[in-house]
Amino acid sequence: MSTVKTDAIETRAGGTSVLTIGTATQTIKLPGGTPGADKVLTSNATGEASWAAAAAGGITHASQWRLTTGFANSIDPIATNVEAVIAADPTTTTASPTSSTALGAPMDLTSGRFTFPTTGYWWVEFICTYDSDTYNQYPSGGLIKFTTNDSTYTLVTGENGMSYLGYYHHSYGNVLLDITDTANQKVSFQFLARGATDRCEGNAAFNQTVMSFTRWGDT
């Protein structure tokens, strides 16, 4: 892309009084100085033009959900006692989040399945805190699953914690998702225990087991 700098633009001598910039279906942006203050002039194929505010830069959606009460043994998906963290007061949660709960429209949770509020590139994180009651050489902890058809959920982030009798552990997973179909592309979370009474820990007042969702940009 090239930049043209000049003090003035005028029609040529003997020409019409109309100055043509661009062609049909193109846009012209006038910088506004601050994010979201730019103005865009868009023309369609029939020559009709309209002004619209340019899209604001930066992250548009970000929210957290946490397990408010712990449970024992494996479960897939984690579907109960999960609520949205209220960003203005993170010691509190709500089962019915709104656009004022965090940043942007909230995720929707139904039967352990999370639906994205809009398309885009989404960064999903899962921190799982748990208490082991056994020794085991195989990994345990939290997993992230993803579906493209609102039916079959596939593992996209595996467990990576350990089981060691009587100790608390963390597992951590994340995945970047290109969401183009909010009706069918969804995520869920699983806890995999190695002992019969391993506990996935949760608390209503602070984060122990927490799911985070951040929209990074347009798809």
pLDDT bucket at 82, cuts 50 / 70 / 90: very high
Least confident segment among 60-64, 162-166, 192-196 = 162-166
CA distance 11 to 17: 7
State the chain's mean pLDDT as an integer.
86
Rounded-to-5 percentages of helix, strand, coil across the chain: 0, 45, 55
Q: What is the DSSP letter of 73?
A: S
Q: pLDDT digits over 103-154, tens only?
A: 999 999 999 999 999 999 999 999 999 998 887 777 889 999 999 999 999 9
CA distance 172 to 157: 9
Q: Using CB atoms within 10 Å of the CB of residue 159, give its burial: 0 to 12 exposed, 13 to 18 middle, 19+ buried.
A: buried
In contact, 129 and 191? CB cutoff 8 Å: no
Residue scoring higher pLDDT (51 or 150): 150
Nearest residue to 87 (alpha-carbon basis) of 72, 102, 77: 102
Confidence (pLDDT) at 34: 43
Q: pLDDT digits over 3-38, tens only?
A: 676 766 666 666 666 656 666 666 666 665 444 555
Q: Residue 169 corresponds to which amino acid?
A: H
Distance of CA 194 to the CA centre of its chain: 30
Q: Tell me the whole-structure pTM to 2 decimals.
A: 0.74
Residues of the chain with CATH 2.60.120.40: 61-217
- The residue written with tokens 């397990």 in the block is 67
Confidence (pLDDT) at 148: 98
According to CATH, the topology of domain 61-217 is: Jelly Rolls (2.60.120)
